[in-house]
Structure 1
């Protein structure tokens, strides 16, 4: 058993996990926990047999081909939260302890071979974590749906994932023992991570550096910046989100969808902005630069620049 994982897992966590794996003579990993535990478990299984350093496998170009694929250990993933969908993902998000940047480590064989999704394991989640992880699933679906890349299957999965969150996250938040709601949220989480193969966007480009530097909860950070990003992207996504609103039973097109997101955040006691979330004395220049380096930038429907990204970030405080 290895459980030395930070809420935003780091390279130091990976190093310690690999050491424990090698010293124990293990032949695989059962990753049990929330997104942080799952990401770390996958990274340990990936790195245990590699000779090159972790950052050589960042999700840049074809860097994943540097890995010895035959040395990647098998993973059984058992999620205990309903948000990240890391159990069906081919990557791990790991924070660089030196630069305080989140990096995506990718390889097709990081995809767990077996996944056990048991909603009973999510019953004990506190309400705040239920809300934050649930909004992470919603953010994955929303950004995938709005991404300009071509992937109609992801589009459909994202749309139904948003519907499940809309219907069942408030139920799970109010009654953590409701297994039907917990089960649908677990499905929505897996659907979000499947859908975002199409792309993510500014929500994640902002939340990754904020979480890495200020140690905020990832899903909750996504929820906090969601409405400012919707305003930022409005011109490019207005018609598309009007269609989504119609499917979700929300009146008023884009404006109705925007108001729904704000109402859902209020319903779940999500902080109103990054200041209320606890982000104090931010280095705006560093956050903007880090956001623009994030891989999620490429999937945003509006091109992100130093100028408009800074204005967007300031709007989140």
Structure 2
């Protein structure tokens, strides 16, 4: 019997300018004392203090964990969990980029279900008990983690990014306030924006796509094509920021239900071994992998090409698919996306890591969702192409 298509989102999503103002109102319905999982940048910007004041106005106590300093790893999860337990909290609020949100998801599940976060990889341990209530507040327009049941945590010992997907990781509430993204630096805007584009494109070309995810993915691609470069060149363009926040939310919902593909499968090992932020590693791979996959998904890429260019509406599917690939390349170039060599990854170390990265990519399961499924040897070859790829 064929598996039914499903579509899951957070039970409550607040999306509009100034929706952050409602954090206290939503929090008091879920708990009495919140652990805010954030980082030093959010503290310096005043977002953490603002959040705590809004909580206090609604009689919700709080304590902040500000130790998320890079891509999320199991050590952050352990440290935040310990603070949660020591302070007898009953609610978790994530405030920041995808790293803060993913860390919070892991803490929320492990706090009630026990074990270590690595126990949940591959459904070896399934969360049977409801997680700690979690309110996710993104301050970047990229990961879409506020709307997914996925968390990606690096195993510090094995240097593998663990992609963990279970319904329990879905936040209870997502508060998407475009005003919070005005503080994103230009490079972060570029990287997170292409991350959202990667989510949307992969959701659309995934073997697991279905009508609901298609709708979200195509809408996200349309918004990104119109707004990403504007947000990059003028970070205070609130209309562009609003478009990107909605796009990231839609793209996150799409890939959470349709799964990601080869780009993400290859991206995670780069991040784990060479400390490349997730958005950048996706962006570095996106154009070359679209070129590799094109022949197996011409019709879908043609749809994307016709979003990027009105002139492509009159072209054949083959030509419109090429417009899609070229448009993505042009966008990455306009956003100053570097290749792996330009990022500063030493060639010798990169070549030495090819076998491990290729194995880890396949083991993640994501490449099997790609329209064209690569062998380990093909993945290694793609890594080498991407190392000095010219956008």
Q: Does TM, scored on the shorter chain, surpass 0.5?
A: yes
CA contact (8 A) 1:64 1:107 kept: no
What is the aligned counterpart of 2:124 among 63, 66, 70?
63
2:191, 2:307 → 1: CA distance? 24
Match status 1:275 vs 2:341: yes
1:294, 1:75 → 2: CA distance? 26
3-state secondary structure, aligned to 1:169? helix
- C-alpha deviation, 1:291, in angstroms: 1.0
What is the aligned counterpart of 2:106 among 40, 43, 53?
43
3-state secondary structure, aligned to 2:135? strand
1:22-37 maps to which residues of 2 (within 5 A)? 22-37=85-100
2:210 alignment counterpart: 151
What is the alpha-carbon root mean square deviation over aligned residues? 1.3
Match status 1:9 vs 2:72: yes
What is the aligned counterpart of 1:236 among 287, 296, 318?
296
CA contact (8 A) 2:161 2:272 kept: yes
Match status 1:82 vs 2:145: no
What is the aligned counterpart of 1:21 among 78, 84, 87?
84
1:253 alignment counterpart: 320
3-state secondary structure, aligned to 1:103? strand
What is the aligned counterpart of 2:272 among 198, 205, 212?
212
What is the TM-score when the length of structure 1 is the normalising length? 0.95
- Aligned pair count? 312
- C-alpha deviation, 1:64, in angstroms: 5.1
1:314 alignment counterpart: 384
1:306, 1:90 → 2: CA distance? 28
Return 246-255 or 103-112, whichever deviates more.
246-255
Runs of 4+ in 1 over 6 A off after TM superposition: none
3-state secondary structure, aligned to 2:94? strand
1:109, 1:148 → 2: CA distance? 24
3-state secondary structure, aligned to 1:48? helix
1:53, 1:77 → 2: CA distance? 22
User: 1:7-47 deviations in whole A, cap 9, x for unaligned?
Assistant: 21110110001000000000010110000011111111111
1:199, 1:233 → 2: CA distance? 16
What is the TM-score when the length of structure 2 is the normalising length? 0.77
Return 39-48 or 74-83, whichever deviates more.
39-48
Return 110-119 or 24-33, whichever deviates more.
110-119
2:332 alignment counterpart: 265
